[in-house]
């Protein structure tokens, strides 16, 4: 006789079962046929509970976390029927996640620089089997974002386990700052909030400001008020690609945010770097980061809308010279132009436009680093937009390399949402 499982059941369609078999962990609202109580004790499922996913024909398909207010009704965390979703289960997965970071990033530091794991994404939601939970490390502070009710309920279990994994490995972590202020939490019925997680037996840190180091460059980060969790860690190795091309070149860094691409270019020996962003706050932080790294002598800063700035430089040679041009290396790292399938065509137009203007600015032999950070703007759609831009600008591109997000943001095959960053480096020939 088969042992009765202890979890309530979600009975799903054949379509849902096929998707799970293909590796995608989501069960959508419309794929749920009914809910049934736990076979062992008759307990009904509550929001955020662990539930078994069972096909209508009775075939067990996995075990996951229930989100009653979300269109994604269940997020599967295991398809191994031997797993019991307890503290030991989560402890194993946390250890695996940290071991993966050490394996993929632990030996890649630049000579004389900090370990690449000092600032990295420790947990990447579904890609690590923690749906709705992101944890980034900035030196001795972890910053978490919780986006699902299941992970919200598990915080008191997961946080101490994660701290134990890191501290047992000799990592000095003084606390966890929660940035649970994303609007997407409202779809799960969760309040928006931020602040230090209270750890038993330890005082809360007195500041959410951190001097973080990446690629040997220091950044003054305000973890409480900055974008996302404080910094865009996913471009770590793409910044190195720009750094390797920058020596002796005049660099234009568009959508610079707090300056990481430009700072890497300057550290790599660029003759001059112009940083451009529409946010004056970002420009002020980029300027401060240049000063912090003693790179301000080769960098200057402009607050402008890049979509207006680039065509202005193309049409006005005097303005181009005033800004430090002509440039022979241009970096385009815009924010996501689309966050839904319905706006992909509009986004493609935007990517095509900025790349065309950049190509018109570059001389023959110049270099272009360009990317998209939206999973809706797929690699092939981005490549098509870039190719159309080259055609319109009457130039030919020689590809140097094609990259994605850093490995601490792993791409899980079968889950296209985990692949969101595509990065190309070209020479204009």
> Active-site residues: which are they?
373
Residue 25 gets which letter from DSSP?
Answer: -
Structure-token pair, residue 172: 């000095």
C-alpha torsion sign, points 166, 167, 172, 174:
positive
User: 317 burial class (0-12, 13-18, 19+ CB within 10 angstroms)?
Assistant: exposed
Residue bearing tokens 């606390």: 175
- The residues near 199 (Cβ < 8 Å, ≥ 6 apart) are 159, 160, 163, 175, 176
- Coil, helix or strand at residue 321: helix
Distance CA 424, CA 141 (A): 32
| Cβ proximity of 415 and 24 under 8 Å | yes
Query: Strands 329-332 and 250-254: what pairing?
Result: parallel
Which of 395, 409, 400, 402 lies closest to 357 in space, CA to CA? 395
| Cβ proximity of 65 and 27 under 8 Å | no
**What residue ranges in 38-108 does DSSP mark as E strands?**
50-55, 60-66, 72-78
**Exposed e or buried b per residue across 255-287, where buried means at least 16 C-beta atoms within 10 angstroms of its C-beta:** bbbbbbbbbbbbbbebebbbbbbeeeebbebbb
């Amino acid at each position: 006789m088969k042992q009765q499982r202890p979890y309530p059941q979600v009975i799903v369609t054949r379509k849902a079962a096929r998707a799970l078999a293909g590796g995608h962990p989501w069960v959508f609202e419309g794929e749920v046929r009914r809910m049934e109580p736990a076979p062992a004790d008759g307990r009904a499922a509550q929001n955020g509970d662990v539930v078994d996913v069972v096909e209508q024909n009775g075939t067990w398909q996995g075990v996951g976390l229930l989100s009653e207010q979300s269109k994604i009704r269940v997020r599967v965390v295991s398809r191994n029927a031997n797993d019991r979703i307890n503290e030991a289960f989560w402890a194993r997965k946390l250890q695996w996640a940290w071991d993966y970071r050490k394996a993929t990033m632990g030996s890649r530091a630049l000579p004389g620089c900090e370990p690449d794991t000092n600032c990295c994404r420790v947990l990447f939601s579904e890609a690590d089997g923690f749906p709705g939970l992101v944890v980034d490390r900035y030196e001795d502070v972890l910053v978490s974002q919780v986006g699902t009710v299941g992970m919200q309920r598990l915080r008191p279990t997961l946080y101490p386990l994660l701290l134990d994994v890191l501290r047992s490995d000799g990592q000095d972590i003084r606390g966890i700052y929660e940035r649970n202020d994303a609007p997407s939490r409202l779809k799960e019925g969760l309040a928006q909030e931020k602040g230090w997680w209270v750890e038993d037996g330890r005082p809360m840190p007195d500041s959410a400001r951190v001097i973080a180091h990446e690629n040997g460059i220091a950044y003054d980060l305000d973890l409480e008020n900055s974008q996302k969790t404080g910094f865009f860690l996913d471009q770590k190795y793409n910044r190195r690609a720009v750094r390797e091309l920058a020596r002796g070149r005049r660099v234009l860094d568009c959508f610079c945010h707090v300056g990481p691409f430009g700072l890497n270019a300057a550290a790599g020996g660029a003759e001059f770097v112009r940083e451009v962003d529409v946010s004056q706050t970002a420009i002020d932080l980029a300027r401060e980061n240049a000063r912090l790294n003693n790179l301000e002598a080769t960098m200057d800063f402009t607050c402008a809308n890049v979509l207006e700035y680039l065509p202005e430089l193309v049409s006005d040679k005097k303005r181009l010279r005033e800004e430090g041009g002509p440039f022979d290396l241009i970096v385009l790292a815009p924010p996501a132009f689309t966050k839904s399938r319905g706006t992909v065509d509009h986004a493609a137009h935007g990517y095509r436009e900025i790349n065309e203007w950049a190509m018109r600015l570059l001389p023959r032999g110049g270099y272009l680093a360009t990317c998209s950070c939206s999973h809706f703007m797929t690699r092939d759609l981005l490549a098509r937009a870039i190719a159309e831009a080259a055609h319109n600008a009457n130039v030919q591109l020689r590809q140097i390399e094609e990259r994605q997000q850093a490995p601490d943001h792993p791409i899980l095959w079968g889950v296209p949402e985990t692949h969101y960053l595509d990065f190309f480096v070209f020479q204009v020939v």
